[in-house]
Structure 1
């Protein structure tokens, strides 16, 4: 029985008992019930540490051809045996390419993919544990922008995993 079902049965039992007392003609009083339901997260991502993807030094011609992609190592560890889950990469969308993440350097946007398909920023991806999706991150050069040697960029996003 899930904790939600147990709570429903408990509250149903309490209200049934209260109703029978009120009908029997006994004194009435208001009962305030408060509780905190604690449920430890069933999964951890990268042992709770920040996932960093370092593109290192990039050759300008590779950047011009959008040829730079790196894997995202989730190191997802879940205590349940199998479950339906979903994943979201939360961040500020690029104004020119809203499905991509905004980078600190205007000519570049950051593209996320899952199993070869674009994963738009702030959208959900459903999957079944333990078959976690294969995620990659790539630089995307905006076609109308020039890139200068020596420029650098950074971007930040939050990875969220929920079970359903």
Structure 2
């Protein structure tokens, strides 16, 4: 989990050439460092998504979808703040497919029905619990997948805007 906010305000009154010709330019920086995570996901507990038994035919990234229940809670100071999230993980055979430990099988994520790119921020609705985030297994083309168990892991990051 990760949450922080550092607003930076930079005032530029003229272009670089004009500043050079007219004398030195002044920059004003202002910010705040938050020393603890003001938001938590799922009370800090691991989120488990069991797919149980799946078939290659249904592993098309659409037919089998599991809802990911997210409980994002922020301290009172940040309860009305705009939040964004990203899913961090190793991409597999496509940029938006999370790698599993089984060759030619990955996990694709959807936010309210639209595909989610890994390592890309997206805005959370208010309240964050109204977000419909799903995960779906997807096979890489027509390659024959071996039978057996599979696992994958990703990290969810929340950022205060």
TM-score by length of 1: 0.69
CA, structure 1 residues 151+64, in 2 after alignment: closer, same or farther (shift >3 Å)? farther
Match of 2:106 in 1: 109
Distance 1:100 1:44 in 2: 25
8 Å contact 1:43–1:77 — kept in the other structure? yes
**1:100-119 residue CA offsets vs partner (Å, 9 max, x unmatched):** 11111112111011000000
Match of 1:100 in 2: 97
Match of 2:67 among 67, 71, 79: 71
8 Å contact 2:105–2:137 — kept in the other structure? yes
Distance 1:120 1:81 in 2: 26
CA, structure 1 residues 60+143, in 2 after alignment: closer, same or farther (shift >3 Å)? closer
Match of 1:52 in 2: 48
8 Å contact 1:82–1:128 — kept in the other structure? no
The alignment partner of 2:59 has SS state of: helix
Distance 2:149 2:55 in 1: 12
After superposition, the CA RMSD in angstroms is 2.4
83-92 or 40-49, larger mean C-alpha shift: 40-49
8 Å contact 2:72–2:128 — kept in the other structure? no
- Quick check: which has more Rg, 1 or 2? 1
TM-score by length of 2: 0.70
2:137 pairs with 1:145: no
Q: Gapped runs of 5+ residues in structure 1?
A: 6-36
Counterparts of 1:119-134 in structure 2 under 5 Å? 119-132=116-129, 133-134=131-132
Compare the two structures and name the one with the higher helix fraction. 1
8 Å contact 1:60–1:147 — kept in the other structure? yes
Match of 1:135 among 111, 133, 148: 133
The alignment partner of 2:43 has SS state of: helix
2:75 pairs with 1:82: no
Paired residues in the alignment total 129
